[in-house]
Structure 1
Amino acid sequence: MAGQFLLLVFVFFMVLAAAKDAMSFTIPNWLVGAMALTFPLAAGLLGLGWMEFGIHVGVGVVALLIGMALFAPGWIGGGDAKLIAAAALWFGFPDALIFLAKSALMGGVLAVALIMLRRAAPATGLPQRWLTGTLLAEGAPAPYGIALAAGAMWTLPSSQLFALASL
């Protein structure tokens, strides 16, 4: 029961990260840190062995390196890179690969949605100053935390951790 609760905590963290990113284009370090620090407790409560735990940690480290590689040329933000790593830590192998693929697909959906919404925003009649600093502002960054959260929610029901929580 406690393991299932911690999976809900993971979901809460991902949704909160998406909301914070959508509102401020930032993902707070404390949030990603709390997500990463909650994983060992969840792993223990869900019965992950030391070998499996180590694989999850290794996957998280590799995901952080991938995130840093995507951050370096400016393709994603620093918070996004850290969120990828924290979520991958929870998913382990091979679920983290599925998470990354689904997040990439959701990133494409997010990009198309933002393009459409930003093109439609002037038709609302709202003054431009009201749109500045929002998702609808022309040239605003894409809050990729939304795509990462969607990818995580899509992946979680078929993940190893979810199966362990269902036992």
Structure 2
Amino acid sequence: MLSFVVPALVAAFAGLLLTGAIKDLVSYTIPNWISLTIIGLFPVTALAAGLPLSTIGLHVGIGVAVLAAGMAMFALRWIGGGDAKMFAAAALWMGWPAVMDFVLWTALTGGMLAMALMSLRTAAFRPMVMIGPRWLVKLSEPGGAAPYGVAIAAGALVALPQSALMHGVGL
């Protein structure tokens, strides 16, 4: 296979994660096309990278399991639907055991995001934010939601080098 194909597909994955994070940050939504494209790129990337079918199957199983967990978290109103879908789509790329790093890094960056939002929403910062763009004003509203797509993208990008996909192609 051409040597640039897998790195280009991985770069597309990273770009889609960043697009989802930015969309979530400014609009509190992650469009379905982002998660669907991430899912659609995985089999192409896995086959181009020469992953064995058993490894690809394990990745799919992990993606399905994370989707079920994300649906449960959505039902409990812990996360949004777009977050659950992007979380599962990114987990598909991680495989075992990198999915554990992904979950850990997503949780850690989610905690940092929560601390940043709590600071942004204090009386000290809020007056300064009020002159900023509309999305920043909305982000600073006390009691508002957290754009968790930011943490999901960060967790995935940090964990990706540990994935079987990256080890399989020497990236």
TM band (smaller chain) = over 0.9
1:65 Cα shift?
0.3
Question: Aligned pair in 2 of structure 1 residues 47, 135: CA closer, same or farther (>3 Å)?
Answer: same
**2-side partners of 1:39 and 1:70: how far apart?**
24
SS, match of residue 134 in structure 1: helix
Q: Matches of residues 53-132 of structure 1 in structure 2 within 5 Å?
A: 53-119=56-122, 120-124=124-128, 126=130
Q: CA deviation at 1:165?
A: 3.1
- TM-score by structure 1 length? 0.92
Is 1:142 aligned with 2:146? yes
AA of the residue aligned to 1:31 = I
In structure 2, the residue corresponding to 1:146 is in which secondary structure? helix
Aligned Cα root-mean-square deviation (Å) = 2.0
Distance 1:129 1:12 in 2: 24
Name the CA shift for 1:51/1:107 in 2 (closer, same or farther; >3 Å): same
Task: Answer yes or no: is the 8 Å Cα contact 1:133–1:140 preserved in 2.
Answer: no
Q: Partner of 1:39 in structure 2?
A: 42
Distance, in Å, in 1 between the alignment partners of 2:31 and 2:135 is: 23
In structure 2, relative to structure 1, the CA distance for the partners of 1:136 and 1:165 (3 Å cut) is: farther
Structure 2 unmatched runs, 5+: none
* One-letter amino acid of the counterpart of residue 28, structure 1: P
Partner Cα distance (1:23, 1:70) in 2: 22
Q: Deviation digits for residues 71-107 of structure 1, max 9, x if unmatched?
A: 1110000001011110010111111121011101111
With over 3 angstroms needed to count, the CA separation of the structure-2 counterparts of 1:133 and 1:166, relative to structure 1, is same
Segment drifting more, 124-133 vs 108-117: 124-133
Distance 1:22 1:125, change over 3 A: closer
Question: Could you say if the C-alpha distance between residues 64 and 163 of structure 1 is closer, same or farther in structure 2, counting changes exceeding 3 Å?
Answer: same
**Percent same amino acid at aligned positions?**
43
2:27–2:135 contact (8 Å) kept in structure 1? no
TM-score by length of 2: 0.90
Label 1:81 to 1:125 Cα distance change in 2 as closer, same or farther (>3 A): closer
Q: Give the Cα separation in 1 of the matches to 2:132 and 2:105.
A: 34
Count matched residues.
167
Contact 1:11 1:153 in 2 (8 A): yes
